[in-house]
Structure 1
Amino acid sequence: MKIVTWNINGIRTFRGGIQKALDCLDADIVCFQETKVTRDLLDERTAIVDGYSSYFSFSRGRSGYSGVATYCKDSATPFAAEEGLTGLLTTHDDKVGCYGDLTEFSDEELQLLDNEGRAVITQHRIMCQDQMQTVTVVNVYCPRADPEKPERKQFKLRFYKVLQHRAESLLKAGSHVIVLGDVNTSHRPIDHCDPNDIDVFEENPGRKWLNGFLHHDASEKTNEEGFDEECDVTSTEPHSGKFVDIFRYFHPTRTSAFTCWSTLTGARQTNYGTRIDYIFADYLLATEYFEAADLMPEVEGSDHCPVWGKLSCSLLPSPKLPPLCTRHLPEFTGKQQKLSRFLVKVDQKSMDVLPGSQEAEERRENVNPLGVGNISGKKRTLTVESAAPKGKKTKTTKTTSKPQGSLLSFFKPKLTNGVPSMETPVSHKDEVTSSPYFQKECTAKQEVSSVTGRDTEAAEGVYDGSSKATQDSENLMETKCERLTPKPTVEASDPKKGASSVFWKSVLHGPPPPPPCKVHGEPCVLRTVKKEGPNLGRQFFVCARPQGHTSNPEARCNFFAWVDKGK
């Protein structure tokens, strides 16, 4: 059994389709984070992949944000699947369950923790040493603590706590547990490219949580490279947490093993990154059944790289797909929705479910097909001609038998007193027709359409070069195009034009020439401050090389220079 986790930074960035990526990873279970897709944007090619079943969690509040997805080979079909950690997003019977004690959280807080689409849980049956067992895979995309948003730091810690409650509750119920994904915290100094705050490194709240969540094994060592050689990694006696960092279990002393790099600074070229993507497994599963684990930094396509783990167990597929599977979504079942579903009165009691859940969205769409008040934040477009959004007046369109004219007719001079006049002077509104593009495109085919009131296809049917009426129309419209062509009002030698050109060049001057950096003597790159503060919007020059450690001669030097406002 092979399992892979990868933060893909947008599932729609796979131009060749997700099928190719899955085939390249060649794993039984593939967990993606940061899919950045909402349900209304999920296309069939991504949702339905031959040989796999898929399970998604979507962000309810923002489009193109967060989101996770788990793909399972047909030979690894789960017998249960669930969205979220709290249980509030799941109303079907085949749910995973085991939520732990969440009494310290309010229902509103739990809903907010799950509404960003950060977790999908699948439960599988495995055969280990001729004994059938259960393993639950928790695919998570943990929040990032934005330094400019203090409330997100608290949100991240609360998410960690709910995650731990759920994982330990599943373990207590008798299932093996694998927690994997983007945790957004580097655990030890060895997992960080440049831990400058080494004295307070362990004081980070996220790292404190990891210390309590993880078993004190290989990841706890602390010699000169960050490890304690006296620590017995083969000990079967748990020292603290119930889970093991699988990569560090197999590679306790490997340095420069990172999974995430900044794309803005090109840090991947110099391997100046962090390890924030993990596979955690319960202690017994890690020590008894995991055979290997490693990183895949050679796989590009995201600012993260995949992480894989391999177990000696074999998977036993479920004979039927769980209700959460995307193949069960109405938009992919191939069944046309009945109009009566949008008109029938729904019992209000049946609407008493979590507003952010998929079931609630489907039911609300049936009652309110225009999506007014939809909590998802992304209104689904439905073809309902008889209804219109509130506050907007509907326009009544007169239907006539007269075919629509060509696009060029919208750029003609207006008619006076309902009588066409070919002598109408060019107004400012008609300046668009005087452009060289429209003069060039003023062909006989288009002009016949304008004069006769026929569309282009009808004009093509009568224009054969032999009709006198057609020839007259062509000559008439050529004359019109000539009259629509304005005469130049300013000569090239006009001194006013020259003065104007000098003025605008002085105001809209281009960027200053880049200075060479002091160390490499290479032209620098221009950057702009985007962080809120007194320097917001200011420009500066830095070395053009990718960011890296100060000891790396190929990395960026410390050259920095502000761009003077006067330049």
Structure 2
Amino acid sequence: MKIVTWNINGIRTFKNGIKKILDSFDADIICVQETKVTRDLLDEKTAIVDGYNSYFSFSRGRGGYSGVATYCKDTATPFLAEEGLTGLLANQGEAVGCYGDQVGLSSEELLALDNEGRAIITQHHFMGTDGPQKLIVINVYCPRADPDKPERKQYKLQFYQLLQCRAEAILSSGSHVIVLGDVNTSHRPIDHCNPDDVDNFEDNPGRKWLDHFLFETEENTEDGNTEDDLADISQNSASGGKFVDSFRHFHPKRSNAFTCWSTLTGARQTNYGTRIDYIFSDRSLVETAFIGVDIMPEVEGSDHCPVWAQLSCTLQSSPKCPHLCTRHMPEFIGKQQKLSRFLVKVPEKQSVSKGSVESLPGSQDAGEIWENLNPVVLGNSVVKKRPTVREADTNGHKAKRSKQTKTESNAKGSLLAFFKPKQTLLIPSGGNLALKQAESSQDGVGSESDTRSCPSDAQKETNLSKVTAMENEVEGESTSIDKSKDCKKGPCTGFWKTVLHGPPQPPLCKSHNEPCVLRTVKKAGPNLGRQFFVCARPQGHASNPQARCNFFAWVEKGK
């Protein structure tokens, strides 16, 4: 069994669907975070992938934000699937259960924690050494603590508390548990590119929570903790360290093993990042079933990279997909009618009989829809239109149709006619005035009612001669105007160059002697909107000569 987690930073970035990237992992379970898609924007090629069944959790209060999804191969179909950690979003009869003690959180706080689409839980079965076993996979996207929003810090800690409560409750029921995803906290200094630059690194609340949530192996004792320290942590923590960081279990000393980099500074080029994407598992499963765990920094397409784990067990497939599966959504099984059904062309072989006409959506019967979609010709036969009000008088006789009636019937015959550009006569520059006057003159004739007569041939010739004379007159004027524009082109260009200076010339950074890049302050404060120059190279450690130097210069106002 192979399992993968990856923060994809937007699932709609995969223009041709996600199947290609899923197949490249060759994994049984692929968990993705930060899908940034809501249900109304989820397309079929992303939700229904051949060979996989998928489970989505969407943000309910904000579009293009958060969201997680779990893709399982059809050979590893889960037996149960549940959205969220609180149980408030679970379907009756198909919930995984085991919610633990949630007394510390109010009902409003619980609902808010599940409202951003940050968790999907799937239940799997496999045959272990002691017989049939259950495996619960919790796919999470933990919140980020925004320093400008203190309430988000509290939200993040509450989410951690809820996640630990649920994971430990499931583990206590006898199931194995894997918690994986973007946790948004680097645990140890070895997991951060520059821990010395972070104030109170060890005192960070997220790192303290990880200390309580994770069990420290003997290999990690040399990384700053003694055995006495570990004993104190285990004794004082509520969980007793019941889960293991599987990557550090296999690679306790590997440095520069990062999974996230800043795209704004190009930090991935210098590997100046953090490790915040994890695969946590209960200790028993890691020791008996895990074969290997590693990161995949070579996979691009996001500001994060995937993390994979290989297990020796083989998952059993459920005979049917859980109710949460996207295959059961009405919009993907044909139960919900789409707007496109009313815009497609009706097959020509279909015939409409007057005796079996049924009412259709939009207050149109079958004959009307047939007529609208095929207004004039079908094959070699001409379809007759129903007579309009102007075509029949009160005695039932057909009245004489005007030019306007013919034009209207042709325009309203097809819905697509309203989206086609209006065809106009193209004449030389400056002739627009003549064209408009000619059109208004002709419209005055063409818009006559049926009781008024059409213009005579003599009137048509008179109108045509007037239009020709006006075109010639305006064409002569446009030529003189164009010449005057050419004369003034040079002076105008010079004037605007003196007024608009354009961006300032970039200086050369002192370390590399290369042109700098222009940046703008976007953070709220006294310098908001000010521009400055910095070295154009990607961000990196100060000891890396290929990284950005410390050059900085404000752009003076008026330059």
* TM-score scaled by length of structure 1: 0.74
Tell me if the contact between 1:221 and 1:229 (Cα under 8 Å) persists in the aligned partners: yes
Residue equivalent to 2:13: 13
Q: Distance in 2 between matches of 1:331 and 1:161?
A: 36
Give 1:297-312 correspondences, 5 Å limit: 297-312=297-312
**Structure 1 residue 410 displacement after superposition:** 9.8
Using a 3 Å threshold, how does the CA distance of structure 1 residues 131 and 451 change in structure 2: closer, same or farther? farther
**TM superposition shift of 1:490:** 8.2
- Equivalent residue, structure 2, for 1:491: 484
- Secondary structure, counterpart of 2:50 in structure 1: coil
Residue 90 of structure 1, CA deviation: 1.5
CA distance in 1, matches of 2:205, 2:470: 76
Partner of 2:375: none
SS of corresponding position for 2:484: coil
Amino acid at match of 1:77: T
Q: Decide which of 511, 519, 529 is 2:521's aligned counterpart.
A: 529
Distance 1:231 1:80, change over 3 A: same
Contact 1:227 1:253 in 2 (8 A): no
Pairwise mapping of residues 340-489 of structure 1 onto structure 2 (< 5 A)? 402=408, 403-404=410-411, 487=478, 488=481
Q: 1:437 to 1:259 in 2, by over 3 A?
A: farther
After superposition, the Cα gap between the structure-2 partners of 1:17 and 1:453, relative to the gap in structure 1 and judged at 3 Å, is: farther
Q: Return the offset for 1:503.
A: 4.6
* Match of residue 272 from structure 1: 272
* Counterparts in 2 of 1:483 and 1:172: CA distance versus 1, 3 Å: farther
Partner of 1:151: 151
Equivalents in 1 of 2:275, 2:151: separation in Å? 24
1:221 shift after superposition: 3.0
Q: Which residue of 2 aligns with 1:430?
A: none
Question: Which amino acid in 2 is paired with 1:102?
Answer: Q
Question: How many correspondences in the alignment?
Answer: 466
Q: Does 1:81 pair with 2:81?
A: yes
Which of 500, 504, 523 aligns to 2:496? It is 504
Amino acid at match of 2:46: T
Instruction: In structure 1, list runs of 5 or more residues that go unmatched.
Output: 340-382, 387-397, 413-432, 455-469
Q: Tell me by how many angstroms 1:88 deviates.
A: 0.7
- CA offset digits 1:437-488 (Å, max 9, x no partner): 998xx9xxx99x999989xxxxxxxxxxxxxxx9999999887776776732
Aligned residue in 1 for 2:248: 248
Whether the aligned pair in 2 keeps the contact of 1:135 and 1:176 (CA below 8 Å) is: yes
Counterpart in 2 of 1:323? 323
- Measured after TM superposition, the shift of residue 89 of structure 1 is 0.9
Residue deviations 1:82-104 (CA, integer Å, cap 9, x gap) = 00000111233111011111122
Q: In structure 2, what is the equivalent of residue 314 of structure 1?
A: 314
- CA 1:452–1:185 in structure 2 vs 1: closer, same or farther (change >3 Å)? farther
**CA deviation vs aligned residue, 1:251-283 (integer Å, no higher than 9, x gap):** 000000000000011100000000000000011
- The worse-fitting range, judged by mean Cα deviation, of 30-39 and 90-99 is 90-99
Structure 2, unpaired ranges of 5+ = 340-360, 365-388, 391-404, 412-416, 448-459
Query: 535-544 or 398-407: which moved more?
Result: 398-407
Q: Find the aligned partners of 2:112 and 2:510 in 1 and give their Cα distance.
A: 50
CA contact (8 A) 1:219 1:245 kept: no
The equivalent residue for 1:202 is 202
User: Aligned AA for 2:211?
Assistant: N
Q: Is the 8 A contact 1:409 1:450 kept in 2?
A: no
Matches within 5 A, 1:108-123: 108-123=108-123
Q: Which residue of the partner structure matches residue 360 of structure 1?
A: none
Post-superposition shift, 1:304?
A: 0.2
Classify the secondary structure of the residue corresponding to 2:53: strand
> Map of 1:90-169 to 2, 5 A cutoff?
90-129=90-129, 131-169=131-169
Q: In structure 2, do the counterparts of structure 1 residues 227 and 554 end up closer, same or farther at CA, with 3 Å as the change threshold?
A: farther
Residues 219 and 35 (structure 1), Cα distance of their counterparts in 2 relative to 1, 3 Å cut: farther
Question: For residue 44 of structure 2, what is the aligned residue in structure 1?
Answer: 44
| Alpha-carbon distance, 1:132 to partner | 1.0
In 2, Cα distance between the equivalents of 1:438 and 1:535?
53
Instruction: Look up the equivalent residue of 1:101 and give its one-letter code.
Output: D
Deviation (angstroms), 1:18: 0.4
- Post-superposition offset of 1:200: 2.0
* Equivalent residue number for residue 188 of structure 1: 188
1:479, 1:329 → 2: CA distance? Answer: 67
Give aligned-pair identity as a percent: 64
1:44-78 CA distance string (max 9 Å, x none): 00000111100000000111100000000011100
**Largest Rg, 1 or 2:** 2
**Contact 1:124–1:135, Cα closer than 8 Å, also in 2:** yes
Cα deviation, residue 174, structure 1: 0.8
Separation (CA, whole Å) in 1 of partners of 2:221 and 2:467: 86
Q: Name which of structure 1's ranges 550-559 and 328-337 shifts more when overlaid on structure 2.
A: 328-337
Q: The residue matched to 1:70 in structure 2 has which SS?
A: strand
Identify the range of structure 1 (150-159 vs 86-95) with the bigger mean alpha-carbon deviation: 86-95
SS of alignment partner, residue 292 of structure 1 = strand
Please state how far the C-alpha of 1:320 moved relative to its aligned partner.
0.9
Deviates more, 1:276-285 or 1:473-482: 473-482
Judged with a 3 Å threshold, the aligned counterparts in structure 2 of structure 1 residues 493 and 302 are, in CA distance, closer, same or farther, namely: closer
Q: Hey, what's the Cα distance between the residues in 1 that align with 2:539 and 2:322? A: 46
Judged with a 3 Å threshold, the aligned counterparts in structure 2 of structure 1 residues 489 and 112 are, in CA distance, closer, same or farther, namely same
Q: Which residue of 2 aligns with 1:28?
A: 28
| Inter-partner Cα distance in structure 2 for 1:103 and 1:333 | 40
Alpha-carbon distance between aligned partners in 2 of 1:522 and 1:210, rounded to the nearest angstrom: 43
1:544 aligned to 527, 536, 544, which one? 536
CA contact (8 A) 1:218 1:248 kept: no
Using a 3 Å threshold, how does the CA distance of structure 1 residues 499 and 79 change in structure 2: closer, same or farther?
A: same
- With structure 2 as the length reference, what TM-score do the two structures score? 0.75
Contact 1:185 1:207 in 2 (8 A): yes
Q: For residues 61 and 522 of structure 1, do their structure 2 counterparts lie closer, same or farther at Cα, with a shift above 3 Å needed?
A: same
Q: Tell me by how many angstroms 1:159 deviates.
A: 0.5
Question: Which amino acid letter does the alignment assign opposite residue 46 of structure 1?
Answer: T
Which residue does 1:365 correspond to in 2?
A: none
Which residue identity does 2:270 align to in structure 1? T
Q: Deviations over 1:171-201 (max 9, x none)?
A: 0111100000000000000000001256721
Q: Aligned partner of 1:189: which letter?
A: P
CA–CA distance in structure 1, aligned partners of residues 267 and 322 of structure 2: 41
In structure 1, the partner of 2:288 is 288
Which residue identity does 2:140 align to in structure 1?
Answer: V
Distance in 2 between the 1:559 and 1:471 partners?
77
Inter-CA distance 499–308: structure 2 relative to 1 (3 Å threshold): same
Counterpart for residue 560 of structure 1: 552
Q: More helix per residue: 1 or 2? A: 2
1:411–1:146 Cα change, 3 Å: farther
Q: Which string of whole-angstrom CA distances, capped at 9 and with x for unpartnered residues, describes residues 100-122 of structure 1?
A: 11122111111111010000000
How far off its partner does 1:220 sit? Answer: 4.0
> In the TM superposition, what is the alpha-carbon distance from 1:5 to its structure 2 partner?
0.1
Asked if structure 1 preserves the Cα contact closer than 8 Å seen for 2:54 and 2:69, the reply is yes
3-state secondary structure, aligned to 1:309:
strand
